Amino acid sequence: MHQPLAQPATVTPKTTHHLTLVQEGVFPVTRNHRGDLLEQCPNTGWHHAGTIQGEGKLAGVPSLFIRLAGCNLRCMWQMPNGEVSLCDTAYASFHTGQTRRMTVDEVLNTVRHNIGSMRHVVITGGEPMLQSRSLTELCRILKTELHLHITMETNGTLFDKELAPLIDLVSLSPKLQNATPTPASAQKMNMDYKGTFAYHAEIRKNTEAIQQWMNNCRVFDNDFQLKFVVAHPDEVDEIKTDFLNELTGWQPSDILLMPLGGNRDQLAVNTPIAVQLAVINGWRFAPRLHIDLWGNRAGV
């Protein structure tokens, strides 16, 4: 008679720190933090945990994701046809009414019970740096106990010297002027232009914080990428003038252009533009493989 496969032991609680995550939290998974098998399959449609990193230098690498809730920006893009596009994870930044609070140990145990043969965890949001204290504790254990490669996706407006050495690849996605909300764009989306909307333009660019991340990567032999969302050729001038000319220590291979769009139709319009601009400038084109595979489905 076959014996059931042994599940990794649940970690003894070590910390009281908490994290606020979106509903899917750690994904795609088949077991909860206690190791219990979940009733439903992940949104990938598979009967096992895991997905692939869909963007950047590590596109295609098998990964688990940890998505935190909350963001200090309110990105809204004007599409060529006049439509307004929110970030493709608006539920993690704009609409954070449905969140879940987990201890660092619960997050860690969820990863432990689902990581399998994967060696890569992606921490994303929202803006993860808003929870840097608890995130530092989580990353320290992910590194020391599970020995995982950690990618963190951030808008580059914040830096933390305690967290930074623990991040193997920091994916910096500075927001261009094209992402700045206006009263008109907010009205189109039935949103009030106040609070974070009003000061988005003031804080979206922080080249000092970006440079700190880049310097940290050199000191600790980690890696970084600068990922810009584009939809128009004129945006290259802004990338060069407002960002690259103010930063040191980058190579062309560190600069990625990603087409604007949160669904296949929008990407079909902007992908040729992003590819052409990447070729002209000797930078990288960043596909969005998860949208190619699953559309705008969450939790994949």
- Interatomic CA distance for residues 63 and 75, integer angstroms: 26
Centroid of chain to Cα 182: 24
Task: Report the pLDDT value the prediction gives residue 91, as an integer from 0 to 100.
Answer: 78
Angstrom distance (rounded) from CA 19 to CA 81: 39
pTM of the shown model: 0.93
What pLDDT does residue 188 have?
85
Rounded Cα–Cα distance for residues 41 and 299 (Å): 11
* Residue 156 is assigned to a ligand binding site: no
Work out the burial of residue 33: count CB atoms within 10 Å of its CB; fewer than 13 is exposed, 13-18 middle, 19 or more buried. buried
One digit per residue, pLDDT tens: the chain, 300 residues? Answer: 333 444 555 544 566 799 999 999 999 999 999 999 999 999 999 999 999 999 999 999 999 999 999 999 999 988 777 788 787 777 788 766 789 999 999 999 999 999 999 999 999 999 999 999 999 999 999 999 999 999 999 999 999 999 999 999 999 999 999 999 989 888 888 888 888 888 899 999 999 999 999 999 999 999 999 999 999 999 999 999 999 999 999 999 999 999 998 889 989 999 999 999 999 999 999 999 999 999 989 999
CA–CA dist 214, 226 (Å, integer)? 10
pLDDT of residue 4: 41
Residue 124 marked as a ligand binder: yes
41 assigned ligand-binding residue:
no
Q: Pull the structure tokens for residue 51.
A: 């997905």
How many Å apart are CA 163 and CA 140, to the nearest integer? 8
Structural domains of the chain sorted by starting position, each given as residue range(s) with its CATH number in brackets? 18-294 (3.20.20.70)
Cα separation, 87 vs 68, whole angstroms: 15
Tokens representing 272 are 């040729």
Q: For residue 177, what are the contacts with CB-CB under 8 A and spacing of at least 6? A: 238
**Tokens in use for 240?**
């060069």
**Selection from 239, 112, 262 nearest residue 172 by Cα:** 239
Task: Look at residue 2 in the predicted model and tell me its pLDDT.
Answer: 38
Dihedral sign, Cα of residue 292, residue 294, residue 295, residue 297: negative
Q: Is 112 annotated as a binding residue?
A: no
pLDDT of residue 207: 99
Q: What is the pLDDT of residue 14?
A: 62
Q: Is 16 annotated as a binding residue?
A: no
Q: Is 194 annotated as a binding residue?
A: no
**pLDDT score of 8:** 57
Say whether 182 counts as a known binding-site residue. no
Check the annotation: does 139 bind a ligand.
no
Single-letter code of the amino acid located at 65: F
Question: CA distances (Å), 196 to each of 8, 40, 87, 92, 117, in order?
Answer: 42, 36, 15, 14, 40
Q: What angle do CA 114, 300, 80 make, to 5 degrees?
A: 155
Secondary structure in 3-state letters for the chain = CCCCCCCCCCCCCCCCCEEEEEEEEEECCCECCCCCECCCCCCCCCCCCCEECCCCCCCCCEEEEEEECCCCCCCEEECCCCCEEECCCHHHCCCCCCEEEEEHHHHHHHHHHHCCCCCEEEEECCCHHHHHHHHHHHHHHHHHCCCCEEEEEECCCCCCCCCHHHCCEEEECCCCHHHCCCHHHHHHCCCCCCCHHHHHHHHCCCHHHHHHHHHHHHHHCCEEEEEEEECCCCHHHHHHHHHHHHCCCCCHHHEEEEECCCCHHHHHHHHHHHHHHHHHHCCEECCCHHHHHHCCCCCC
Is 89 known to sit in a ligand binding site?
yes
**67 annotated binding-site participant:** yes
Residue 71 annotated as binding?
Answer: yes
